[in-house]
Amino acid sequence: MTSSPQQAFSALNLELPPAPQPLGIYKPFLVDGKYLYLSGHGPVLPDRSLIIGRIGENMDMDEGKLAARQVGLTMLSTIVTNFGSLDVIKRVIKVLGMVNCKPDFEKHPYVINGCSELFAAVWGTENGIGVRSAVGMGSLPDNIPVEVEAVFELHH
C-alpha cells in the first residue's frame, strides 16, 4: 500500500459526519496500551441526524448496507476528531456489527459489509479487515438500523 490511510480515505471522496457525543454514560473511545476501543456508533449524517429504520420492515438490505457504511464513516470521524488522522491506526482488530431487523432476516453479514468494505478501502485488505461478528437485534437505540463497535491497533 503506497498511500497512507488518510490519503486512501481522501481518494474515496466521502464526507465524514460530525463525531457523535455520547447519549448515555460511557466514553466514545478508550485507549489501552496499543489498542483503541470504539464504543457502539450509529449512522450519523453530515447534518447530525441519524439514519432511522429496521431492515425487513421499512428498509431493505442494500439500504442497510449503506447505513453500515455511514456507521463506518461516523467511526472514522471519531478517530479523526480525537486523534487528528486515520494514520494513527495500524490495523482493524475486531468489529461487532449489530443489525436492527425483523426476526426472519438472515443476511446480517451482507449489511455489515458496508462498514467492513470501507475499512478495507482505508487500511487495505491486510490491515483493514479484522475478525468480525454480524448479528441481528430486536431493536437498537433510536431505531437506528445498524450499530457497530470496533477495536483497532494503534501505531506505537
Q: Which of 26, 56, 52 is nearest to 40 (CA)?
A: 26
pLDDT value of position 41? 98
Average pLDDT across each block of 10 residues of the chain; the chain has 156 residues. List them in order: 88 97 93 98 97 98 98 98 98 98 98 98 98 98 98 95
pLDDT value of position 156? 81
Q: Which of 131, 63, 135, 71 is nearest to 99 (CA)?
A: 135
∠ CA 146-115-56 to the nearest 5 degrees?
A: 40
Q: Which three cell numbers stand for residue 14?
A: 466521502
Check: pTM over 0.85? Answer yes or no: yes
Round to whole Å and give the CA distance between 35 and 92: 10
pLDDT value of position 2? 66
Q: Which three cell numbers stand for residue 66?
A: 449503506
pLDDT value of position 146? 98
> Are the beta carbons of 75 and 130 closer than 8 angstroms?
no
| Count of CB atoms situated within 10 Å of the CB of 45 | 14
Q: Which of 132, 26, 122, 7 is nearest to 75 (CA)?
A: 122
Round to whole Å and give the CA distance between 139 and 14: 28
